Structure 1
C-alpha cells in the first residue's frame, strides 16, 4: 500500500514572520504610551507619517524589483521598521524628517540589499543615523516632559509645530524645544560642573531624566514580555545592559562627580528600546548563543564610550550599526561544536 507523505520538515512552524512582527509591535505599546503621556501626540503624528511612507516606499520598491507587493507588505516588517524609527525621533521634528528617514530606511537600508533577510544593517537605525548626521538641530530638539511643560501640546498644536514650525498661540517654535538629559549632562560636564550640580536641575528625576525614565520603564516592560514569550533571546539584552551597567558603575565609583550613576545610563536615552527592540533584530544580530552575549556586550560598551567621550549624547544607533558589521565575524568564531566532532 502506498502512503502519501509530505517532505520534511514535518512540524509546522509555531510563529510566522508576520506574527512575530505583530507581537513586537504589541510589546512596544507600553513604551509608546509612556512617550505619549510624557511628550504629547506628536509621537502619533511621527508614527503615522513614518508608517505611511514606509508602506508606500516598500510597495514601490517591490514593484521595481518585480516582486509581489502584497506578500512583501503583509509581513509587517516595514511597519515595524517605521515604528522603531518614529519613536526615536523628537515629537516635534518637522514632517519631512519622518518621511525622509522612513524612505531612506526602506530603500537604502533594506530593499537595495534584497529585502527582508538580506539587509546587513538594521534599517531603522540606518535611517536614524543618516538623519542625526545630516540634520542635527531638529533631531536634538525635544519637548519638555509633562512634569516640566508649562502647557502640554494638544494634537492640533503638535501638528502645527510639525507641519509649520509654529508654536501655540503665535509663540516661537524655538521656545517649545529643549535639550535631552543626556545632552544637558554632556554639555554641563564639559563646562566643568559636577554631577551633583547638574543633577540638581529640574530636568533630572529619581532614575534618570524626567520623562525619559518612564519611557525606558515602558520599553523594559515590553522587552520582558518578549523574553517571556520566547520571541527574543535573553543573551543580547543581558549582555547590553550588563556591559553598560558594569562600565558605568566602575567609572562612577572612580569619579562620582564626573560620571553619572549606572541607573542613569540604564534608564536614559534609548537604552531599553535599544536593548530589547533594536539590538535583537534577528536579521542583523549575532545568531550563536555565545555570540549574542558578546554582541550585546560590545553594543553596551560602545554606548557607554559614545555617551561619555563621543560627539553625540546617545550612541545606541551607532553602536548597533557598528556591531551589525561585526556580527558575521562574531558568529564565525563562536560557532557551537557539532556533536561527534572535535572542537
Structure 2
C-alpha cells in the first residue's frame, strides 16, 4: 500500500530576497537611463543608497535596535535606489540627502520601521523634494551622450541651469501637460520645445522599466493586479479624453511611454507594505492610482 503526502506549501521568500530581486529588476531601467542621461543617474543612486543605509543605521542605533539584521534586509537600500532613479541626473548631494532622510527616518522609522509605514518611503521623500525644491526637481537635461562634466557640480552641491547646456521639463508628458489650453496638439508638435530624440529616449526608458517589471511578475515577487489595473485605467481614461478631442489631449500610448508611468506601476504602486493585499483590493487600488494620475 502506497501512501501519498499532502503537498507542502513552499517557503515564502525572505524580505531580503524580495528586496534584492526588486533592486536587480531596476537595472534595465537604470542602464537605459544612464545611456541617455549620463553617469549622473548612477551617481544619484549611489549617493541615495549611501544616505539611506547611513540614516537607517543611525536611527537604529538611537532606538537601541540591532543594526545589521535590519540593514541586511536591503529595504533601506531599495528606498535609496528608487528615490535616486526618480531624481534628475546629477542632483546635488544635499538634495538627495534631504529626500532620503525624509524617506527613511520620517516615512519609515518614525512609524516603527519596515512593515509599519503607511506610505511608500521613497515617494514620501520625492514628494517633499518636489514641494520644497521645485526648481532643482525640474533640472533634467535633454537625452544625450554621457556628460560627466555635471558630476563635479553634483559633488559640490552647486548644480544649476548654468551647469547644463540645455534643459527641458522632466518628461515629454510633463511638457505636453504644461503647453497651455490655448495651444493645440498639432501646434505643440510643430514647434516642440523637446530636443531631437527625446521621445524615443523616454520610450526606450519606459520599455526598460516594463522589462524589469515583467521579471518581478514572472518571479512572483509582485502580482499583476496593481500594474494592470493602474495601466488599464490610465489607458481607458486617456483614450476617452483623446477620442473626445484629439487636438488637445495626448494618446493613450503617449501617456504610457513618455513619462514614469511604467516605473510607477511596477516599482512604486506595488510597495508590499502600503499597497492593498487582497486581489479585489489590488484591482481597486491600482485603478484608483490610474484615475489620480490622469486627474
Match of 2:4 in 1: none
Q: What does 1:252-331 correspond to in 2, within 5 Å?
A: 252-305=242-295
CA 1:187/1:105 → structure 2, altered by over 3 Å: closer, same or farther? same
Q: What does 1:83-162 correspond to in 2, within 5 Å?
A: 83-146=81-144, 152-155=145-148, 157-162=149-154
> Hey, what's the Cα distance between the residues in 2 that align with 1:45 and 1:141?
15
Q: Is the 8 A contact 2:229 2:286 kept in 1?
A: yes
Q: Is the 8 A contact 2:103 2:125 kept in 1?
A: yes
Match of 2:13 in 1: 15
Deviations 1:315-339 (A, max 9, x none): xxxxxxxxxxxxxxxxxxxxxxxxx
Q: Is the 8 A contact 2:34 2:146 kept in 1?
A: no
Q: Is the 8 A contact 2:119 2:274 kept in 1?
A: yes
Counterpart pick for 1:185 among 171, 176, 179: 176
Q: Is the 8 A contact 1:21 1:80 kept in 2?
A: yes
Q: Is the 8 A contact 2:141 2:164 kept in 1?
A: no
* TM superposition shift of 1:176: 3.8
CA 1:221/1:12 → structure 2, altered by over 3 Å: closer, same or farther? closer
> Hey, what's the Cα distance between the residues in 2 that align with 1:229 and 1:53?
29
> Hey, what's the Cα distance between the residues in 2 that align with 1:185 and 1:263?
14
* TM superposition shift of 1:189: 3.0
> Hey, what's the Cα distance between the residues in 1 that align with 2:19 and 2:237?
32
Aligned to 2:135, what secondary structure does the other structure show?
helix
Match of 1:226 in 2: 216
Gaps spanning 5+ residues in structure 2: where?
Answer: 1-7
Gaps spanning 5+ residues in structure 1: where?
Answer: 1-9, 147-151, 306-343
Alignment pair present for 1:40 and 2:56: no
Deviations 1:14-33 (A, max 9, x none): 41110110111111111111
Q: Is the 8 A contact 1:204 1:210 kept in 2?
A: no
Q: What does 1:25-36 correspond to in 2, within 5 Å?
A: 25-36=23-34
> TM-score under structure 1 normalisation?
0.79
* TM superposition shift of 1:76: 0.2
> Hey, what's the Cα distance between the residues in 1 that align with 2:43 and 2:202?
19
Q: Is the 8 A contact 1:62 1:69 kept in 2?
A: yes
> TM-score under structure 2 normalisation?
0.91
Aligned to 2:187, what secondary structure does the other structure show?
helix
> Hey, what's the Cα distance between the residues in 1 that align with 2:151 and 2:39?
9
Aligned residues: 285
Counterpart pick for 1:24 among 22, 25, 30: 22
Aligned to 2:249, what secondary structure does the other structure show?
coil
* TM superposition shift of 1:288: 0.6
* TM superposition shift of 1:63: 1.0
Q: Is the 8 A contact 1:189 1:195 kept in 2?
A: no
> Hey, what's the Cα distance between the residues in 2 that align with 1:158 and 1:210?
23
CA RMSD of aligned residues (A): 2.0
> Hey, what's the Cα distance between the residues in 1 that align with 2:278 and 2:71?
29
Match of 1:215 in 2: 205
> Hey, what's the Cα distance between the residues in 2 that align with 1:82 and 1:267?
24
Match of 1:327 in 2: none
Q: Is the 8 A contact 1:239 1:293 kept in 2?
A: yes
Q: Is the 8 A contact 1:189 1:258 kept in 2?
A: no
Deviations 1:109-136 (A, max 9, x none): 1000000000001000000000000000
